[in-house]
Structure 1
Amino acid sequence: MESIVTVNQTDIYNDWNYLHEHGETAFKEVNTTKYLAKRLREMGAPFELFDNMTGMIVTLGSGSPMIGIRSDIDALKQTYNGKMGIFHSCGHDAHMSVVLALVQYFVNNPEELKGTLKVIFQPAEETVTGAEKVIKSEKLPHLDVLYGLHVTPESEVKAKEAQPMLEAAATRTLWLTIRGKAAHAGTPQLGANVIDAFTELNEKLRSIKLKTDLPYSVTTTMVHAGESSNIVPDYGTFAIDFRTRTNELMDILQQKIFDAIDNVQKREIKIAVDGNDLSPASIPSEKANSVMRNAIERVLGKEGVVPPKPNQGGDDFHFYAYDGLASESTMLGLGCNLKPGLHIPGMTFEKSSMIDGAKIMIEAVKSTQQEFN
């Protein structure tokens, strides 16, 4: 059955224009939250702000099933054309605009909402810390299903196409501090060189092998040590990014990484680990995927459905299922001819695709009761 959903295109474009020009970084989305609150009040949509952080939860309808919709709201601090700025280069401005349209639709058509709808405007996705803060706030009940969305590069999905699931990888970043012993560069044997320790550790990380055909990676992404050319450095910092296709593989890989760290610590070399920025891999849900696939078909036709493809990117959206707050979940991969890619300031996409995205998400919510009751 073809979709008969209609949304206010002018509102979507106006929302995007404002949000695009007023991006804010993780947990600093103060004006973004104020704008969202203003728009929700104009709609007559009830919402609750989070305590001591940005963002909010909108509640519409009643009864079961308990349906969640999540939109991330933060932007990225980046340099573009020689100037530092804050950019919505990951498309969160589009996500918010789509979800605001969804809220407006169900405010205007309450009879089409079967169950309770919880709409989460979540801060700090880019630092993979926002979702867990929302969960720990205890303002969100257990969800039968949670839907999210993400604009997708043209190289993966084109406009008038969409994926019913984005197969995100499990990702984690560790920040490490190495402490050694300083000495004159002419007598290095009297010191403990943190650069030597880093080199040894990096070689151990590069030699890690997992028994799997699935993709995984371990990458040193930052390193700094030493302030003088004639002193053996006794202090250094570096970061490691590692990714796996599944959460089970992540458990195995991170244990091998911690074993490598322990093996390098000897004599005066000590390594401290900071940061637990784990972002779980997507947890496939056939029920949620089926709902989203059917919603895509109603809006874009069968030819608009693109099968999910493995992706080494991560998203803290998957914490909701990983931590057990959502029984089922899926994230729509919205094609919009986005180029050259995500996290690139100045990236562009076809704004009309936000209309398709809003209709797909609305159709998914409308048909959820059939699958989850």
Structure 2
Amino acid sequence: MKTVDAKPLLLHNRAFTLLFAARAISVLGNGFARVALAFAVLGLPGATPTELSVVLACQALPQLLFVLLGGVIADRTSRSGLMIVADVIGLLAYGAMAVVLLSGQATIPVLAALAVVSGIPLPLFLPALSGVVPEIVPTERLQQANALLQSAVSLSLVLGFGLSGLVVSLVGAGWAIALNAASFLVSAVLVGAMRLPPQARATAKSGWVDLRDGWREFSSRQWLWVMVLQSTVTVAGIVAVTGVLGPLAAEDGLGGAPAWSVIVACHSLGMLAGSTVARHLRPRRPLLTAVLLSFVYPLPMVLLGVVAPVWLTALSMFACGVAGSWFGVLWMTTVQREVPAESLSRVSSYDLFGQLTLAPLTLLFVGPLAQSFGYGAVLVWFGALVLLSSLGALLSPQVRRLSSG
């Protein structure tokens, strides 16, 4: 295990500082929206867990459909320009959602339609972001850069989740979602101020050729597709818990939106602690370390399933946040180091595509499953599946042996 020089030189880099601020502000708004949207749906007259599943599935589906396109565009054009486009779409989608909620015109079909649009920014923004970081940061500083960005994400989620329950309780979900819309505007302005120089791109004859070449880079690395398969199952479990099952458990026996906000805020505090660890330590076997960390993920699922006390569930979510944040930094740094720069956004889009594959179906069916079998049983099932996926990843020799150099 190596230590990493943590001198704050990156914060003297103008482009990185603007990117850091853009991520912090945008994620702060998303923290409000993730809690607010769930309780906005559940607060409609006669709303059911199935209807919540439908709305969240509508948000997840375009993330799956557009993510490969986002990778191709990011490798062909200005990555920062694509990030601005994504922010503008988020501003319009969440702004409209806030208007219908605050005006009392919200219905399940209207929220579902706006949820579709609100799902488009993520698959455009993230592949571009993965390629922008190596453009503005030296290779030897990549892990520190990813850890600092993760710190921004974590701290913003702590504030967003921690305050969102209070805002929802006092003034309603519409104002929380309006704050998210404003955060997209600020993020777009900050990214635009980065003014990155044009990057030379190797442009193929068609997008299909770009996709094929990206797939070749992705599929030729066993460690890459094995880890993505693990993440496919893990992300399905996480979106089921954070999107539907967790709010249901909180509404039924933990105290509603304020209790759920405390739980998810503790998760974000754990992410902040994990990113701090990741900024200072570089394991010799980054992927092996990442998989071992993932064995923590099922714990909060099981505790929510058995309706454990809020403090115990919050503690487990803190531990999960530490593991998940460190995992993410190790993973992103490994991909950025091992994959050629000209293919990085496309490979990242295949990574995201794999992670998001089961999310729409999970969100669509988890509500009906909870109604049929009880949310507690479904939470325990997801915990078991996530545990099995981590055990499966350890079977790959490349995952166990890949070195950080």
Could you say which TM-score interval applies, normalised by the shorter chain? under 0.3
Higher helix share: 2
Rg bigger for which structure?
Answer: 1
Greater relative contact order (Cα 8 A, min sep 6): structure 1 or 2? 2
Q: TM-score, normalised by structure 1?
A: 0.22
So what's the TM-score if we normalise by structure 2?
Answer: 0.21
